[in-house]
Chains A and B, each alone.
Chain A
Amino acid sequence: MLSKRVISCLDVRDGNLAKSVKFVNTKDIGDPVDAARRYYEEGLDELVFYDITASSDNRNIMIDVVSQVASQVFIPFSVGGGLRTVEDCSQVLQAGAEKVNVNTAAVQNPQLISEASRAFGAQCVVLSMDVRAVQPTPEIPSGYEIVIRGGRTPMGLDAIEWAKQGEDLGAGELVVNSIDADGTKEGYELKLTRMIADAVSIPVIASGGGGKPEHLYDVLTEGHADAALVASILHYEEYDIRELKEHLHRRGVKVRMNW
């Protein structure tokens, strides 16, 4: 049986590790390559790098970060943020990423998912979606809406519909970020995660709100997620990876314990 994965997301801005709360108040908190190496050595299963650099002039800084990580960190990692074309995706894969992570650009141009999937294989394409709870409407029957541009622009698109469409277009995996839960450390959005995990047959990575080991347990069991993404609690050293995994292991969730 596959192990449930513990994944960390590193937001990178101009080559520095950054962390936001509810997608605002971003601050720099260190070197992403050092953090990646430390988490790898401490037993993390996978990494996600998100380039939140505002200016596209600094793309080469990100490529450099990717290639430094790839030569020191031997677990799978994906890279996202600002990937608009198959060519952009190809660049980060060649720099050593295992997968690409598309978000805003995929909402604006869904063909990006199918083109990347055809070019690199579905297992290479992760669709990341930012979701906010809203009043259910005929347009958004689930009460969960897709937002883009780092949470600033609501799209009038139902999150469950978009997840299914993403799978049909060839995404191999989904990251479901709850904007409401992001940075709160009050637990993952279990209902949202489960609705999406039950609607698709590709792996779902829950993101946003992981503050305690119990939260990971909840989203990997009740939330039906295949993986849980953690950020602040690792970056601020509130927990280490072994503590998180030992908690899950003790409660009967299969996780990788040897590294």
Chain B
Amino acid sequence: MILIIDYKAGNLTSVKRALDYLEIPNRFVKTGDELRDAEHIIFPGVGHAGTAMTVLKERGFDVALREAFERGTPIMGICVGAQVSLSHSDEGDTPCLNLIEGNCPRFELTDKSLKVPHMGWNAVTVTQPHPILQDLQLGDEFYFVHSYYPKPNDPANIYATCEYEITFPAAIGYKNLFATQFHPEKSGRIGLNILRNFARWNGTV
């Protein structure tokens, strides 16, 4: 059973629909207490990092996620879920969960013809092997919608990258936490494979 954190952010139902399609048991949870016996946790989201952190704290998810992380429960963050797993986001100068040390800067691009948000399909390159990324082929693309990107302090926490003038981390991880900046639930069959691999993951790399 995958528990999906409901913190009033967008895009929750599309993650649920993707898991339902894959016939992976799942349900929403609205409070941190419900994470105590979780087998797997997905932490999705579109929206503002500051708003996300406010709601996570109100519902006790900040403490519960840290506890689940320390228990070794496999956790997957998506988009804003990935961003707030770092120490800080420049979006609203927001202190975040600090499960992985690092920051989320905004895209500052010199080529003004490149648009921010970075929105659309872009290729993702695996930089170190991870069980969740095992099926990825060269040139596989994923769907992105974001203006900020996750930047762990330790490059060892980066598992895949993407190019948009700069090379930025597209998938990060540390121990039993794995997170993508892209939306696997909107990235076709290749994206669904990521969710399927997460459902089978025991949290070790």
- Chain A contacts to B: CB under 8 angstroms: 1-3, 5, 40, 45, 70-72, 74-76, 93-94, 96, 98, 120-124, 172-173, 201-203, 226, 256-259
Contact = CB atoms under 8 A, between A and B. Distances in A.
Contact of B139 (A71, A72, A98, A258): A258
A96 B164 contact: no
A172 B192 CA distance: 26
Contacts of A93: 10
Contact of B119 (A75, A120, A172, A201): A172
Contact of A203 (B14, B119, B185): B119
> B115, B117, B119, B140 — which one has the most chain A CB atoms within 10 A of its CB?
B119
Given A1-B163, A96-B13, A226-B120, A75 B186 contact: yes
A172 to B, nearest CB: 7
Tell me if B's interface is mostly helix, strand, loop or mixed: mixed
Main secondary structure of the interface of A (DSSP, over half): loop
A121 B46 contact: yes
Nearest to A122: B117
Interface of B: 10, 13-14, 17-18, 20-21, 46-47, 112, 115, 117-123, 137, 139-141, 143, 145, 163-164, 185-192
B10 A45 contact: no
A74 B119 contact: no
A122 B10 CA distance: 13
B164 A1 contact: yes
Nearest to B18: A74
Contacts of A121: 10, 46-47
A173 B117 CA distance: 11
Nearest to B186: A76
A3 B20 CA distance: 29
Contacts of B140: 258
Given A3-B123, A5-B121, A74-B21, 14 more contacts: A2-B120, A2-B121, A74-B186, A74-B187, A74-B189, A98-B14, A122-B117, A123-B46, A123-B119, A124-B10, A203-B119, A203-B120, A256-B141, A259-B188
Nearest to B138: A258
A122 B116 CA distance: 11
Contacts of B13: 70, 94, 96
